[in-house]
Amino acid sequence: MIYLEPIHILFEQLKSSLEHGTFAKLTLGKTIGKTELTNIYFRTIVDNDQLKFNVTFRYLSEEIVEIKPIEDVVMLLSQYINNPFLTVILFTTEKDILIKLNKKRMATITEMDNTFKNADPVLLEYLKK
């Protein structure tokens, strides 16, 4: 898949932000056309003393929340990028990292100034232990 390399780069940045306590949020957005699924949000959660993701699938009429291991991020991003989402944004307290698909469905990675000043509070509490 042509998006695998950018997704793996983003995943490495994600793991680093989790280890260093800078992770704020991971989001998939900007859908192709009008779709029932409008966004997917990843936030940290502690489940059985393990750091995992609370994944919110936001639909037009409802939200579905699932708990997923950190390692499932690559599979989920691969599954939903270009079907139906055109952007993936990793928000950290240091920088935001954006994967964006253009009209030809070529992926680019862009680093931007950070949007969030504070890391995910669940992650910070987990790292204190």
Per cent of the chain over pLDDT 90 is 74
Using 50, 70 and 90 to split pLDDT, how confident is the model at 32?
A: confident
Interhelix angle 4-20/73-80, nearest 10 degrees: 140
Report which of 76, 86, 77, 90 is spatially closest to residue 30, judged by C-alpha positions: 86
- Identify the DSSP state of 22: -
Distance CA 126, CA 108 (A): 32
pLDDT at 2 over 70: no
Distance CA 11, CA 101 (A): 17
Where in the chain are the domains? 4-128
Bridging pattern class, strands 23-31 and 50-59: unpaired
Q: What angle do CA 69, 71, 77 make, to 5 degrees?
A: 100
Distance CA 44, CA 68 (A): 10
Using 50, 70 and 90 to split pLDDT, how confident is the model at 82?
A: confident
pLDDT at 1 over 60: no
